[in-house]
Amino acid sequence: MNLTFWTNALMITGCLFMLLAAVGIYRMPDLFTRMHAATKVGTMGVSGLMLAVAVYFGDLGTTTRALLILLFFLITAPVAAHMIGRSAYLSRVTLWSGTSVNEWPLPSPKSPDPQKEEEPPTP
Amino acid sequence: MTDSVQGVSSLVMAVLFLATLIAMIRVVKGPSLPDRVIAIDLITTLAVGIIAVYTIKTGNPVYLTAAIALALLAFLGTVALALYIRRGGPP
């Protein structure tokens, strides 16, 4: 029961992650959000399926090969996504209209409290 | 208890083919070239997953070598297409 149960559980988990990656690449509004969906969730799905292979065959060679594929995906998927994202941004792909950048969120200025807690140092 | 693995692997393979079809829609209607590149990358990842499930279904671990080769080719193809987009893309 044990190995069969874990094989089935890992296969179903990986397959659901794969389906989630495909739905994400279909539904997301932007290139970069689609890239998030495809890369990370796809890597999770492949890792689930490869762990299912490694559990189902108890063999040393098969387990090594499955973990090698998994390690290869864990190394190469972020590199490929980084290169595609950089190339796409440099070739001026249009961003999503809801994209906002806030690198250092400050407290809102419409409610000035008298006790200034964080005052910037003045020379 | 091997029958349960057979049934579940058939179901999982059907869901993976459905996911491939959904990603193929993005390949067809992607607005720009990097969208299509990412979708093709996801389709190759799905093909590696399908090979893994087929390995479990047949019980023959020879097919994992094909999965290794396919993962390598997917990475090289994605990097080559990224450099192609960086150099200016299609005219």
Domain ranges of chain B: 3-86
**In this predicted structure, which of A27-36, A89-98, A102-111 has the lowest mean pLDDT?**
A102-111
Residue A37: DSSP 8-state:
I
In angstroms, what separates the C-alpha of B52 from chain A's closest C-alpha? 6
Q: How far is CA B78 from CA A13, B15, B43, B44, in A?
A: 26, 25, 12, 10
> What is the Cα–Cα distance from B30 to B27, expressed in whole angstroms?
5
Give pLDDT, residue A120: 60
User: Which of B1, B10, B12, B17 has the highest number of chain A CBs within 10 A, making it the mutation to test binding with A?
Assistant: B12
**CA angle centred on A103, ends A102 and A105, rounded to 5°:** 65
- Domain definitions of chain A by residue range: 3-90
pLDDT in tens, B35-75: 999 999 999 999 999 999 999 999 888 999 999 999 999 99
pLDDT in tens, A100-110: 887 887 777 76
Task: Say if the Cβ atoms of B26 and A86 lie within 8 Å.
Answer: no
CB contact B24 to A (< 8 Å): no
> What is the Cα–Cα distance from B79 to B57, expressed in whole angstroms?
32
Q: Is B69 helix (H, G, I), strand (E, B) or coil?
A: helix
Judged against a pLDDT cut of 60, whether residue A10 lies above it is answered with yes
Interface predicted TM-score of the whole assembly (ipTM), two decimals: 0.89
Task: Say if the Cβ atoms of B89 and A91 lie within 8 Å.
Answer: yes
CB contact A67 to B (< 8 Å): no
Judged against a pLDDT cut of 70, whether residue A117 lies above it is answered with no
The rounded mean pLDDT for chain B is 90
Q: Quote the pTM value.
A: 0.85
What percentage of chain B exceeds 70 in pLDDT?
A: 97
